Copies of this chain bind each other. A is one copy, B any other.
Amino acid sequence: MNPNRRIKTAVLGATGLVGQEFVRLLADHPWFELALLTASARSTGLRYAEAAAWAVPGEMPRLARAMEIVPCSARLLSESGVRIAFSALPAAAARGVEAGLRAGGLAVFSNAGAHRMDEDVPVLIPEANADHLGLVRRQIASHGGFIVANSNCTASGLALALKPLEPFGIRTVVVASYQAISGAGRRGLSAFDIAANVVPFIADEEEKVERESRKVLGRLDGAGIEPAPFAVHAGCARVPVRFGHLLSATVELGREPAPAEAEEAFVSFRSAPQDLGLPTAPERPVIVRPEEDRPQPLRDVHAGSPERAQGMAVTVGRLRRQGRFLSFFLLVHNTVRGAAGTSVLNAELALRRGLIAP
């Protein structure tokens, strides 16, 4: 794409951890231009370098440093020629703001939970349910623009790992999570509470994992999305790790897989983003580690190639079979594949599918 013709984008809530990941991914994106940054009122008017305490890998992109934080208004975005908004807004703010931008004709790719369970909003993970993107045509008809949600960070990893197992028939999913402190945001978790401890509670997380992974793997028909017909039982806990949500999963399948069959299903899994060569798509969405002690957050969180797709692959390891039950560990980068990265990938898919005028 002609770099002079890149599509202008805005990052809403650009100073938090997920906002920073958006900035990192968009600063040199081949199709998108990082044109506007918004944040809360107390940051408005500051340079991004002053407003954001950079905490994701690498240095703050030079381009972003000097950008001025602006208030989040549909009019301002439109007048600036922005056609895509990436939202890292907190849940409370997101609902109204995102709907307003949609009404203003924008394409909103959101990491917030506000609209995920709306009937006409897809919870999109392009490798798992690219067809759900069709839902947005209904939104365009009603609202002018549209919202595409990505799922909760933990559900993102789980859904991506379940997708290749669909041919075996998924009956029941039991999952326990070991979630990184970055998932609570830069200041969301007190050091005193989690240091050398595990806290087996994350507000609403288990419900989100259960609900959203079933929606992602659900079936789109004329009436909307029918959730996948299996039960999910999730237990979610916070551990003193910085980045990377690890999951211990046990899946009851409809038939017993042959010895290497499940592993082969993971390894060979490719989907729309790979076929279309989307810029942020990992070559292999699911990486299987053969070692006896992987995946580990510290070692595997950045899995994914090419370089632009680091953190976009989920890593699976320690596959064990017991009859029709398959158990494994799974690691997902919570602020990349579980948040900003999937949103960017969603936008790339929407552009390719012609839902955003180039």
Contact = CB atoms under 8 A, between A and B. Distances in A.
Interface of A: 17, 55, 174, 176, 178, 181-182, 184-201, 206, 231, 233, 235, 237, 239-242, 246, 248-250, 292-299, 317-318, 320, 322-323, 325, 327, 329
Contact of A329 (B235, B293, B317): B235
Given A235-B248, A235-B329, A237-B178, A318 B201 contact: yes
B178 A293 contact: no
A186 B178 contact: no
A193 B293 CA distance: 11
B192 A190 contact: no
Contacts of A231: 322-323, 325
Nearest to A235: B248
SS class, residues of chain A in contact with chain B:
mixed
B242 A237 contact: no
A193 to B, nearest CB: 7
A16 B191 CA distance: 15
A196 B296 contact: no
A181 B189 CA distance: 13
**Shortest Cβ-Cβ A-B pairs, 6 listed:** A176-B176, A235-B248, A176-B248, A201-B293, A196-B196, A174-B174
A242 B176 contact: no
A168 to B, nearest CB: 16
A198 B318 contact: no
A212 B178 CA distance: 25
B200 A293 contact: yes
Nearest to A245: B198
Contacts of A325: 231, 233
Given A190-B187, A239-B178, A197 B295 contact: no
B250 A191 contact: no
B201 A192 contact: no
A136 B325 CA distance: 36
Contacts of A196: 195-196, 240-242, 298
A229 to B, nearest CB: 14
